[in-house]
């Protein structure tokens, strides 16, 4: 276990959400400040960075700064360049920290393209048109193209060499991280891992809660970035329900009570002020979650509360079991 004094194995699954992911980063930063650590972190797409930073103990240090830089650069440079730049900036510390013997297990979901015809489209000039079609299909619930052409592949930092579970390694970390983020409608640079085509995890697995639960955790904390039901993927194929049980894990969901758009943060665009407010909203939610679930803390956790940390309570954030 990551924390020797903890009595339960804890898994943390962080949903994707592009720039709205700043909220989940705030939650993870509060957990870090209070000493709540996961034994397993599950991430997908935009949560790969915040979840990875949390796994190596650097979520609080990075704070909202990454999101401010990403939002500012998105219009000028495009999302492919933004993600590649962030991998270049944060990749070294993550490649060093995620694979240490004492690090928690880190899961990173991707969408693998399963046939040559689909790979040709996703890697070529038709990718953006297909991406727009897939987004329109979200509103109709049509998952047919996804089911026929994509498969969820979740890479693990603890997978054994030669085993059946895909391995995340320092050598393939950059490629897997980029692949996990590649939304077809807005990412110009194709994504490949070991010569095979991949797309954003969110089409099939935007919140890898089930994969985290399969790691034998007792408590699964699922973090969303929207006030709506938290689903496994863009097409709402499976709801992740607060108070439910997945495998042997009891599920606790944290998500905002109101749409972050009201603060100025949407999926692909955000104001600087909105990002700061959304991050602080997540920070507040994380501290109040720990106040309500102190039994999850290891014995050596800092003896602080949300009030001690200067966090304002009562900002309208839904918390599991609170």
pLDDT tens, position by position, 101-137 = 999 999 999 999 999 999 999 999 999 999 999 999 9
CB 31 within 8 A of CB 47: no
Whole-number Cα distances in Å, 259 to 63, 226, 227, 317: 21, 6, 6, 11
Bigger pLDDT: 237 or 315?
237
The band of 160, judged by pLDDT with boundaries at 50, 70 and 90, is very high
Whole-number Cα distances in Å, 235 to 49, 54, 136, 142, 239: 23, 27, 10, 8, 10
The band of 313, judged by pLDDT with boundaries at 50, 70 and 90, is very low
Q: 24-42 burial, b for 16+ CB within 10 Å, e for fewer? A: bbbbbbbbbbbbbbbbbbb
The band of 303, judged by pLDDT with boundaries at 50, 70 and 90, is confident
Q: What is the pLDDT of residue 98?
A: 98
Q: What is the pLDDT of residue 300?
A: 86
Percent of the chain with pLDDT over 70: 93
Instruction: Determine the Cα–Cα distance for residues 243 and 250; give it in Å rounded to an integer.
Output: 6
- Coil, helix or strand at residue 198: strand
The band of 304, judged by pLDDT with boundaries at 50, 70 and 90, is confident
């Amino acid at each position: 276990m990551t924390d020797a004094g903890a009595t339960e194995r804890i898994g943390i699954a962080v949903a994707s959400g592009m720039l709205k992911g700043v909220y989940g980063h705030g939650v993870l930063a509060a957990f870090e400040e209070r000493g709540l650590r996961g034994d397993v972190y599950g991430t997908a797409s935009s949560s790969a960075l915040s979840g990875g930073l949390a796994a190596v103990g650097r979520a609080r240090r990075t704070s909202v700064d990454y999101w401010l830089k990403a939002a500012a650069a998105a219009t000028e440079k495009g999302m492919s360049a933004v993600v590649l730049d962030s991998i270049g900036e944060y990749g070294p510390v993550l490649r060093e920290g995620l694979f240490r013997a004492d690090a928690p297990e880190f899961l990173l979901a991707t969408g693998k393209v399963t046939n040559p015809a689909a790979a040709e489209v996703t890697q070529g000039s038709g990718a953006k048109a297909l991406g727009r079609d897939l987004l329109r299909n979200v509103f109709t619930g049509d998952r047919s193209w996804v089911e026929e052409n994509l498969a969820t592949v979740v890479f693990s930092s603890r997978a054994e060499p030669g085993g059946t579970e895909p391995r995340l390694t320092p050598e393939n970390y950059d490629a897997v991280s980029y692949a996990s983020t590649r939304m077809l409608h807005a990412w110009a640079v194709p994504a490949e891992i070991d010569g095979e085509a991949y797309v954003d995890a969110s089409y099939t697995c935007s919140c890898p809660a089930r994969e985290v639960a399969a790691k034998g955790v007792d408590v699964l904390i699922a973090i969303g970035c929207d006030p709506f039901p938290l689903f496994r993927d863009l097409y709402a194929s499976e709801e992740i329900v607060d108070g439910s049980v997945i495998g042997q894990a009891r599920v606790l969901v944290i998500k905002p009570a109101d749409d972050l758009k009201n603060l100025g943060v949407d999926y692909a665009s955000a104001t600087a002020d909105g990002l700061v407010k959304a991050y602080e909203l997540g920070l507040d939610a994380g501290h109040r979650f720990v106040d309500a679930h102190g039994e999850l803390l290891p014995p050596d956790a800092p003896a602080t509360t949300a009030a001690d940390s200067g966090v304002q309570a009562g900002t309208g954030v839904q918390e599991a079991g609170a």
